[in-house]
Structure 1
Amino acid sequence: MNGLTGRRVLITRSADRARPLASLLRNRGATPLVLPLIDFEMTPDQAPLDAALNGLRAGDFNWLVISSITTVRVLLEKAAQRGVVLTDLVPPGTKVATIGSSSRQVLESVGLTVALAPADVQSAEGLLAVWDTSAERVFLPQADIAAPGLREGLTAKGAKVTSVVAYRTVDYPARAELRLTADLPSGVVMSDADASPILSVEETRAALDSENLDAMVAASPSAARRIAATLLPLGSCRLIAIGRPTAAEATRLGLTVAATAKEPTPDGIVAALESVFANEGNTQ
C-alpha cells in the first residue's frame, strides 16, 4: 500500500485535460475527481492573431515561443481553419521554444521539433535562464491573462517580440461559439475507460464541509484564483500547486500550499501528493 491508496484527490481541470493525472492517480490507488473551474475561448477579434500567423508562415520570425499547452490547441485550430496542419505554419527556419516537458511532448506529438526548453525550472523564468540568443524576431502567442515576465525578459535579452493574445481564460464553461474545439493527439490526452466523476462547485463545497476530500490540485494560477473566490475554506483538504507560479499566486491569495510539484507533470504532481501524505504519516 502506498500513501495515495484510498485518497480522494480533486483535479481543477476540465475532464479531458485531467485524464493523464487521473489515470496515474487511479493506478496508485487514489480516487480522482474533477472540478472544471476555468475554460478557454478564442478571442473575439482574430485579426492580430491571423496577421501574426501569416507572418509566421512567411518566415518573418526566427523563433516561435509556446508558453502553454492551450496555445498549441489554438494553433491547431487556426491551422485547421486554413486547411493545413500545424507544421505547415512553422517554416523550417523558425525554431520552437517552450517552457517544459509537458509542452515539449505536445509540440513534438504534432510534428514540431523543440529547439529549446528548460530542463530544471520548467516555467517562463526557466526558459529565460537558458535563452542565450539576441536580436531575434520572436512570435509569442499567449493567454489574455499571461504575466508580462516572459515577454519583458525576452525583450531585455535583445529579442524583438511580437506578443499576441491567442485565447481568453474564462470561468467554466466557455461559450459554445468561442470554445476551443481542437483536440490534442490521443497520445497526449490519454483515453480512459473509467471517466473520473465531475463535480460541481456545490458538490465540492459539500465534500469539503464533510472532510471527504484529501487533496486538491490547483492546475494554474487562474485556477488558484477561482479556488480562493469560490471554495474557501478548504478545511482539512491539502492544496497542491502544479508549479511555482501557481504556488506563488495561491500564497498571495492567502491559501496554504501543502506542496508544489517540482515538475508540472502528472508524475510531478503525484510525487508532491505522496510527499505530503508520507510526511503526515511520519508525524502521527
Structure 2
Amino acid sequence: MTVKEQLAQRAETVESFLSGCMKDRGIPPRLLKSMEYSLLAGGKRLRPVLVLSWATMLAPDEADMGDKVMPFAASLECIHTYSLIHDDLPAMDDDDLRRGKPSNHKQFDEATAILAGDGLLTEAFGLMSAASIVKGLPADRVLRAIYVLAIAAGSGGMVGGQVVDMEFTGRDDVPLEELREMHAMKTGALITAACECGAILSGADESDIDNAREFGKSIGVAFQIVDDVLDVVSDTETLGKPAGSDEEMGKSTYPSLIGLEKSKQLASQHIGAALKHLSNCTGPEKEFLEHLARYIVDRVY
C-alpha cells in the first residue's frame, strides 16, 4: 500500500469520528449544517493523522492508544477547518472555492460562516478535554497538550500568522526569513503542535517530545513551501481552490522570492532535517511518518 493510500485510509477513520462528534450537541440546525459542510468536506486530515501516528508510535504497548487519542486528534481538524472558513471570508483571502466546493460563506452567508468557525473552534476544546474525561487518558498529559495546542492556534501562532500574512500582502520587499517566520506561525504551528501533542499524550519522555516537535517544525515549513509551489504549477481542479490566487493577491511566497526550483530544493532540505528526528524511533509508524514526510515534497514532482 502506498503512503497516499495509507493516508487516505487513516483519514477515513478520522472522518468517521468527525461525522458523529457534532451530533446531539443542541446545535441549531442551520449552524450545524454549516459547520459540517466544511468539517466533512474531505481533505488529507494530516494534522489528526500526525497526532495519532506519534501517539501510537511512542506507546506501542497500549493497543487502544489510537482510540483514546482520537477526540484530541479530531480537535485539530476542527481548528484547522475553522481557520479555512475564516481565511476564505471577503475580509481576508476572499476565496469562493474550497476543496472543490463553494466556500462556506458562499454556500450559506458571511454571518453563518463566521459563527460556524467560532463554533468549531470552541467545540475543539471540548474534544480535547474528552480525551481525559471520556477516554481516560491521564489528565496531566491532556492538560499539557491543550496548553501546547492553544498557544499554537492562538495569537502568537496561527491567528497571528494570518495577521502578518495580510500585512505582507501586496509587498515585494518581504525578507525570506520574515516569510519563513510568518508561515511557521500560520501553517507550521498547528502541524508542529499535532506532532508534539501526540507525543505528550502517549506519555513519552522529554527527548521524544522534543523530537516530535522538531519533526513537526521541519515538515511544517516543507508543507508550506510545497503549497506555494503548487499554487503556481497546479490547476484549480487539482487544488480544489483557485490556482494562482497567491500571485493575483500579491502575496509573498517562496517561489516569488527564490524561484520554483530553489523552493523545491529548500522543501527537500527541510524534509531531510525532519527525518533525522525519527532516527531513535522504531516500528511501522516510524516507516509511515518517513514516507509521509517524503510524500509532502513528492507532490510537486
Q: Which structure shows the higher strand fraction?
A: 1
When normalised by structure 1's length, the TM-score is: 0.25
Structure index of larger Rg: 1
Query: Which one scores higher on RCO, CA 8 angstroms, separation ≥ 6?
Result: 1
When normalised by structure 2's length, the TM-score is: 0.24
Q: Which structure shows the higher helix fraction?
A: 2
